[in-house]
Amino acid sequence: MSFKKRTFHWITRQKRTAFGRLLSRFSLGIHHALENKINDNELSGEYWVLRKLAKLQLQIVFDVGANVGNWTKELKKNSPGSQVYLFEPVPETFDKLLQNLSKLESVYPNQLALSDSEGMLEFNFYPSQSYFSSVYPSSFGKESVIKQVPSTAGDYFCQKNQLSQIDLMKIDVEGLEGKVLAGFKEMIKNQKIRTIQFEYGPQAIDSKFLLRDFYDFFEENGYRVGKIYPSWIDWSTYSSGKENFILSNFLAVVSSDTKVFDLFPN
């Protein structure tokens, strides 16, 4: 028996021991760190991406799942001339969003969810942890309140508001990302959205919209997908090993847009 097999066998036998549980927690923590599971927009690289993209003179930006607007505040620091359309459907969170952005110009908050159709959505709202609010119940949130919130499709919103191009769209909607993308089907098909940042994580289990589905959707529409790290982007193609449900952010870019890729070389 090889040394590797003997070592694995010994580790497996520790599964039910205190040492084994400690080893499991430690190794899982290391794995999460390597996969960039960092609940901090600065340390995770999200704000680094904003600063890089600011060199493109962003004009129209969508913040889908804006929560209280902190991402937009950072965006406006780096791209003060941009026009930002924000979407936050929960009334209580939307009120905090308005207060948080009251001093910013050219921001357009909408008390509205983006999905794949016009209608109403049943939302799980977590008053003390609003960032977990979603159409899907969160195992991390506490004391949810059910809300009925209005929704619309992105294509319809853009048509209604005479928006023919979006430079950057950030989607952070706790599992509804697939529906949001479906609602922008025509805009994305015609490559009218230049860059799209989206979140992937445990909620993909509930939504059944896996990382593979993100990659397939974007590649079919002429985009390239990369995973965001603190100071680089991994542009490698999809593999089943990436399907780990670890909370992280990705960037999709029109494949022919060399100006964007020049900002994030391999």
pLDDT tens for 170-216 read 999 988 999 999 999 999 999 999 999 999 999 999 889 999 999 99
Rounded CA-CA distance 225/236 in Å is 8
Q: What is the chain's mean pLDDT, rounded?
A: 92
> Looking at the DSSP assignment, which residues form a beta bridge with residue 149?
121
Tell me what the mean pLDDT of segment 90-118 comes to: 93
pLDDT for the residue numbered 266: 76
Phi/psi at 258 (5° precision): -65, -30
**Number of other CB atoms surrounding residue 218 within 10 Å:** 22
Percent over 70 (pLDDT), the chain: 94
Are the C-beta atoms of 29 and 37 separated by less than 8 Å? no
Q: Give yes or no for residue 38 having a pLDDT over 60.
A: yes
Q: Give yes or no for residue 223 having a pLDDT over 70.
A: yes
* pLDDT band for position 139 (cuts 50, 70, 90): low
**Alpha-carbon distance values, 161 to 117, 154, 157, 165, 194 (Å):** 16, 10, 6, 11, 18
* pLDDT band for position 138 (cuts 50, 70, 90): low
Tell me what the mean pLDDT of segment 150-166 comes to: 96
> Looking at the DSSP assignment, which residues form a beta bridge with residue 84?
61, 107
Q: Give yes or no for residue 143 having a pLDDT over 80.
A: no
Nearest one of 96, 191, 177 to 134, comparing CA atoms: 177
Rounded CA-CA distance 114/183 in Å is 7
Rounded CA-CA distance 247/125 in Å is 20
Nearest one of 208, 156, 150 to 177, comparing CA atoms: 208
Percent over 90 (pLDDT), the chain: 79
Rounded CA-CA distance 235/237 in Å is 7
CATH of segment(s) 39-263 = 3.40.50.150
- Residues belonging to the chain: 266
> Looking at the DSSP assignment, which residues form a beta bridge with residue 114?
152
Structure tokens at 107: 């921001």
Tell me what the mean pLDDT of segment 111-117 comes to: 93
pLDDT for the residue numbered 144: 74
- List the domain boundaries for the chain: 1-34, 39-263
pLDDT for the residue numbered 91: 86
Beta strands 60-64 and 193-200 are unpaired
Q: Give yes or no for residue 142 having a pLDDT over 70.
A: no
